[in-house]
Amino acid sequence: MGAEEPESVVRRLREAHRRGLARPLEWRLAQLDGLAQLLLEQRPALSAALRQDLGKSADESLVTEIGLLQREVAHVSGRLARWLRPQRAAVPLPVQPGRASTVLEPLGVALIIAPWNYPLLLALSPLIGALAAGDAAVVKPSELAPATAGALSELLPRYVDARAVAVVEGDAATTTELLEQRFDVIFYTGGGRVGRIVMAAAARHLTPVVLELGGKCPVYVDPSADLEVAADRIAWGKFMNAGQTCVAPDHVLADDATAARLVPLLERAARRMYGGDPLRNDAYCRIVSEQHFDRLVPLLEDGEVAFGGRADRPSLRIEPTVLTGVADGSAVMQQEVFGPILPVVRVTDEEDAIERVAGGDKPLSLTVFSKPSSRAAWTTRTSSGSIAFGVPVLHLAVPDLPFGGVGESGTGSYHGRRSLVAFSHEKAVLVKPSRPDTVQLLSPPFGRVKRRVLARFTG
Ligand code: NAD
């Protein structure tokens, strides 16, 4: 995109959109096909960028970013024509005869602000929704993942229509400039602090927002759970991307006896994935920046290190670590960890765990390893973006499940058909024939006959 000013980018996209460029279904499908081609042909370049930004292995890039995107594009492309068909709505008696329906219309020009932790996935996954909806879009990648941002701004215009899709690189100052422009929808993924800035900026233009935020995602492990499986899955969800995952287990809640049995199993699971020296293992990601590394290292002091605990600043790696004896007031429990440090926090029993989760900020995701009979209590007594029984993280790979938070963890959702809806306006359409002219019945003067008919209408 070079030096083009945010204002000029938005003007250019808006004009193209007003001319109807993005409206035809064929255009939308061609863009989605372009994304599919990009992911296929440029996999080595994209994978190299992710390795540069986060030390991500090609396998992890495929599983957690490129492969997810490929499946999402295929899912949306294959169903888009059907999803765009008008949906009939029932017409009540006083409005009959008539035909009512809803149509999804493009909102216009979208702004997509992406974070650094899954810098490819979280830039392109919303873009799939914007293009499916027939919107033009400005994509603002995170400056903390510069290799991926560079790859996106170089490659994306080669695969999608650059008259309707622009990548704007830059830091907070650029984002601030972008936010001064009028957009028709803003899709932001990142922390709550900037989320508030985005929402305030959007309010100036009455622009709708989707805020995909984070926070602390708890995991409860009950004594009745299969602890080996629980430990394997918690370690998998926590240590992928070195813990820099918005839905990663932030901390584990367990009673003392369960924690004592669980911790060695967590260690075994971490070793199985990343060996005895994770700091030198190429399959293990690094922390994104020195600033985040320096934020995380002091958190290692907030409990007893059950295993792990070593950190290497030159390579920005921190070992998969479990902390026990963690106090509620400690720094590691006062912020989203967003790194490979897993505090195990004591609860007395399952009731205590439910009360604790219900009393805190609403998490993006809650994971429970317990008996089937307690699912109802967890589901109805706590509120969270998602609740998963028996596995963390994986719900985001189910395209028909909404992905999004509630309260502090965000507003709005996407994935699958909901991505299309997030970038569309659902317009109400009513068609009423001239004859018979039943509207006469609703207008004065109201004589005896009309009153009798109206009395039937209103029951
Ligand atoms: P980040 O620092 O990369 O910021 C996100 C975006 O905001 C970037 O594009 C950045 O340029 C912009 N930005 C930064 N400061 C700004 C300012 N002052 N004004 C305007 N724009 C600004 O990402 P982050 O916030 O560190 O991301 C981590 C957070 O994101 C975590 O809390 C994580 O849980 C959350 N997250 C949520 C999801 C989700 O899907 N819900 C996914 C990934 C990450």
Say which residues have a Cβ less than 8 Å from residue 131's Cβ, sequence separation at least 6.
22, 28, 31, 32, 35, 137, 160, 165
Q: Which of 12, 210, 29 is nearest to 134 (CA)?
A: 29
Q: Is 22 in the pocket of ligand 1 (CB under 6 A)?
A: no
Say which residues have a Cβ less than 8 Å from residue 139's Cβ, sequence separation at least 6.
112, 114, 123, 127, 152, 156, 165, 166, 167, 168
Query: Best of 142, 177, 212, 338 to mutate for ligand 1, by most ligand atoms within 8 A of CB?
Result: 142
For residue 194, the CA-to-ligand 1 centroid distance in Å is 7
For residue 48, the CA-to-ligand 1 centroid distance in Å is 22
Q: Is 335 in the pocket of ligand 1 (CB under 6 A)?
A: no
Number of CB atoms found within 10 A of residue 65's CB: 26
**pTM of the full predicted structure?**
0.96
Mind listing the domains of the chain with CATH numbers?
Answer: 6-213+410-426 (3.40.605.10), 218-399 (3.40.309.10)
Per-residue pLDDT of the chain (459 residues), as tens digits, is: 456 899 999 999 999 999 999 999 999 999 999 999 999 999 999 999 999 999 999 999 999 999 999 999 999 999 999 999 999 999 998 899 999 999 999 999 999 999 999 999 999 999 999 999 999 999 999 999 999 999 999 999 999 999 999 999 999 999 999 999 999 999 999 999 999 999 999 999 999 999 999 999 999 999 999 999 999 999 999 999 999 999 999 999 999 999 999 999 999 999 999 999 999 999 999 999 999 999 999 999 999 999 999 999 999 999 999 999 999 999 999 999 999 999 999 999 999 999 999 999 999 999 999 999 999 999 999 999 999 999 999 999 999 999 999 999 999 999 999 999 999 999 999 999 999 998 998 899 999 988 988 888 776
Give the C-alpha separation, 252 to 268, whole Å: 17
Tokens of 28: 């939308």
- Look at the alpha carbons of 313, 316, 322, 326 in this order and tell me if their dihedral is positive or negative: positive
Q: Is 200 in the pocket of ligand 1 (CB under 6 A)?
A: no
Number of CB atoms found within 10 A of residue 53's CB: 25
